């Protein structure tokens, strides 16, 4: 989910919509796309985030609401997909039923994103690929592309658009992965 905690805060409090929002008490646990456009990042200290974005609205957050939203999204996914792995409240890996074709998986991803938006009011990023790692990188790419799209706008629209769905080409995974940092590899650090 895009900026999960911040998105829930904006969904539930109309005064936060369209504003740069950070959730956290000492560091940014989540930040809205409006905040990301201004340079705020997850794990940034709130004092630094306020210097980067003086109009930043900071809320402490409510984990119970986030957990409920995560359960709602999981339920929506389980309606269409039997195998769903939960990596975090806002991080799910789905194994589509029946067809190994990525086109079928992409159609399912679009349908689920639409269902989640309609039923929870939240926007979902999705990436499709053969295997969990490839799909994870594709999702990362979708989120990055969305941030870049929003940065290019002079003014954000009242209702933010979905991120693009990124599908890693079957049998073209090496070329797809080549531009990404090795830091995306599970367990890889800066060294």
pLDDT in tens, 129-163: 998 899 999 998 998 888 788 778 777 777 777 77
Residue 167 token pair: 């599908």
Confidence (pLDDT) at 40: 95
Confidence (pLDDT) at 186: 79
Question: At residue 30, what are phi and psi to the nearest 5 degrees?
Answer: -160, 145
Confidence (pLDDT) at 56: 98
Characterize the bridge pairing of strands 83-88 and 57-59. Answer: unpaired
pLDDT in tens, 164-173: 899 999 899 9
Question: At residue 155, what are phi and psi to the nearest 5 degrees?
Answer: -140, 135
Q: What is the mean pLDDT of the chain?
A: 89
79 in Cβ contact with 69 (< 8 Å):
no
């Amino acid at each position: 989910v895009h900026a999960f905690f911040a998105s829930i805060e904006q969904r539930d409090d109309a005064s936060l919509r369209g504003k740069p929002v950070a959730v956290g008490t000492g560091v940014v646990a989540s930040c809205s796309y409006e905040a990301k456009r201004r340079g705020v990042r997850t794990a940034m200290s709130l004092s630094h985030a306020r210097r980067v974005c003086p109009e930043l609205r900071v809320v402490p957050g409510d984990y119970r609401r986030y957990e409920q939203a995560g359960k709602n999204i999981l339920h929506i996914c389980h309606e269409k997909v039997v195998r769903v792995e939960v990596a975090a409240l806002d991080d799910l890996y789905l194994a589509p039923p029946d067809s190994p074709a990525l086109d079928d998986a992409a159609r399912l991803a679009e349908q689920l994103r639409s269902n989640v938006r309609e039923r929870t009011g939240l926007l979902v990023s999705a990436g499709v690929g053969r295997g969990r790692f490839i799909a994870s990188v594709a999702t990362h790419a979708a989120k990055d592309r969305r941030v870049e799209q929003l940065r290019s706008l002079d003014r954000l629209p009242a209702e933010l658009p979905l991120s693009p769905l990124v599908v890693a080409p079957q049998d073209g995974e090496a070329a797809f992965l080549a531009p990404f940092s090795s830091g995306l590899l599970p367990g890889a650090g800066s060294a």
